[in-house]
Structure 1
Amino acid sequence: MCRHLAYAGPATALRDVLTEPPHALYRQSWAPRMQRYGTVNADGFGVGWYAPGDPVPARYRRRGPIWADPSFADLARVVRTGALLAAVRDATESGADGEAAAAPFASGPWLFSHNGALTGWPGSAAGLASGLPAHELLQLEARCDSALVWALVLHRLREGDSLGQALVDTVTELHAAAPGSRLNLLLTDGVSVAATAWGDTLWYSAGPAGGTVVASEPYDDDPCWAEVPDRTLLFADRTDVLLTPLKEPAP
């Protein structure tokens, strides 16, 4: 389900990362090459990006397919940024959430996306939701599983966890409550990127001149792309990438 991507590096136009590469996220909305679940990503899309001097990112999200929004092409042509997170959402059963269910989710300096699904949703999430303060539950943007996953991550960030620790602890909690869930999570604060490979594909490309890209799948055939092993935490900045194996919690 879904495809997502984060970038941190020298300032570049959105289109250089999201629309112009031969297998960019734009094309992945209808022709992903490595997507294991779902076939077309047409139930919404979004991009969040950071402007110089402002730690709070801007977002552009829509409920329809990215190819049906000519305004996005104009936006991608002129907006430049040194950090972004974008996603296209897999076609799912109809619901009322619309744009609110499209990643990236955001709060303060953070942008977040979830590629995957919680098994047994929504019943499997009852215990997870009960552990959150009531006011945080009431702030959920949507009623989908990804919105709850974001609420769990955000709660940990607000408690002082680092990007990577917030993802690891959330994945551990989710796996215990809903075994078999696919939990590829992507998180950035505009400086660093953290991600988990847990049940679906994740790749990265890093270089001292070109910045770092973390994505569900490569957007071109450059040999610099490397696949992240399943059950792994990735932490990256503009030049370096660190991979840490994750142990599956004991039952």
Structure 2
Amino acid sequence: MCRWLAYAGTPVLLDDVLYQPDHSLIDQSLHSRMGVETTNGDGFGIGWYTPEADSPAVVRDTGPAWNNRNLREIAQHVRSPLFFAHIRASTGTAVQQTNCHPFRHGRWMWMHNGAINEFNRLRRELCLAVDPGLFSRIEGSTDSEVMFFLALTFGLDDDPPGAVARMAGFVERTGREQGVRHPLQMTVAVSDGDRTWAFRYSSEGASRSLFYSTRFDALRVLHPDVRFPRGLSEESRLIVSEPLSSLAGAWNEVPEGSYGAVRPDSDILRPFEPQPA
């Protein structure tokens, strides 16, 4: 599978999040502790928003993150209030740049850990459900990108939680009609540059790991000697496939079958269930 993180809050250097923590995403690319695979070396990607641009910048490559000099260079010079990072372990599709996350369409970014089980059997029917006006924008061959474009088709612009629920419902219905017992496994992050949503769900009720950070003002009280939380607003949040450190009280597990939203005004955490498309 894969590992990913999403950050939203006070603008920070990407390096502070991607490289500096003890169990950073870069460390996880070689030494994942909670993923299906220990090594996630089938490509990586980062995407970030800036106030000056209408859409996010995205950089992706097919090599491993742990020794990529360009990624290190970017991370040491880019500061952003909202960014995604993803390290890939392929579930069967090709190791190529267009299959690396995050995926982008307009102002939206999307990344995924998990799989559509027996995707090759279901792919044609799933792709035929994508809006014809969007279909030509699919560049790669992954189930993750098809999920993104199904969510766009089912109303992501107007209702992100509902669109993802309808996408999940359609994938499950399609899979079960073809005899796939547990069609969907997913942790998903999606953002429009203002708000970020994260989803944890699987058809079998045993989803991949997902955590969110404790408020940074609380972390400063718990761990005054730790450098990273200093200067970050209490609204700043990290959502991660697995914790970036072993700091007591720093991480909270996202409940099974739920979704959360990080918003400028308030955060939410609610149950998630697939819906009919």
- Confirm or deny that 1:13 pairs with 2:39: no
Aligned to 2:59: 60
Residue 159 of structure 2: which of 157, 162, 168 is its match? 162
2:212 is the alignment partner of 1:213: no
Deviation of 1:124 after TM superposition, in Å, equals: 2.0
Deviation at 1:19, TM superposition (A): 1.3
Please name the residue that 2:250 is paired with. Answer: 224
1:173 aligns with 2:170: yes
Residue number among 121, 124, 148 corresponding to 2:122 in the alignment = 124
Within 5 Å, which residues of 2 pair with 1:61-210? Answer: 61-93=60-92, 95=94, 98-157=96-155, 160-178=157-175, 179-180=181-182, 181-198=184-201, 199-207=207-215, 209-210=233-234
Q: Which 5+ residue runs of structure 1 have no aligned equivalent?
A: none
- For 2:31, what is the secondary structure of its paired residue? coil
Larger Rg: 2
Which residue of the other structure, out of 211, 234, 247, is the alignment partner of 2:260? 234
Aligned partner of residue 170 in structure 1, secondary structure = helix
Q: Is the 8 A contact 1:101 1:142 kept in 2?
A: yes
Specify the alignment match of 2:31 in structure 1.
Answer: 31
TM-superposed deviation, 1:244: 1.1
**Alpha-carbon displacement from aligned partner over 1:161-185 (angstroms, at most 9, x marks no partner):** 3222222221222222235221211
The AA in structure 2 aligned to 1:77 is Q
State the SS of the aligned residue for 1:221.
coil
Q: Does the 8 Å CA contact 1:38/1:91 hold for their aligned counterparts? A: no
Q: Is the 8 A contact 1:202 1:227 kept in 2?
A: yes
Distance 2:76 2:128 in 1: 44
Partner of 2:42: 43
Quick one: distance in 1 between partners of 2:275 and 2:161?
A: 17
Q: CA deviation at 1:39?
A: 2.9
User: Between Structure 1 and Structure 2, how many residues are aligned?
Assistant: 247
TM-score computed with the length of structure 2 as normaliser: 0.82
Tell me the equivalent position of 2:178. Answer: none
1: CA distance, partners of 2:274 / 2:58: 34
Q: CA deviation at 1:116?
A: 0.3
Contact 2:44 2:86 in 1 (8 A): yes
**Structure 2 contact 6–85 (Cα < 8 Å) conserved:** yes
Q: Is the 8 A contact 2:168 2:275 kept in 1?
A: no
Residue pair 1:212, 1:237 contacting (<8 A) in 2 also: no
How big is the shift at 1:206?
4.3
CA distance in 2, matches of 1:105, 1:140: 9
2:220 aligned partner: none
Kept in 1: contact 2:93–2:142 (CA 8 A)? no
SS in 2 for 1:61: strand
Cα distance change on mapping 1:238 and 1:249 into 2, 3 Å:
closer
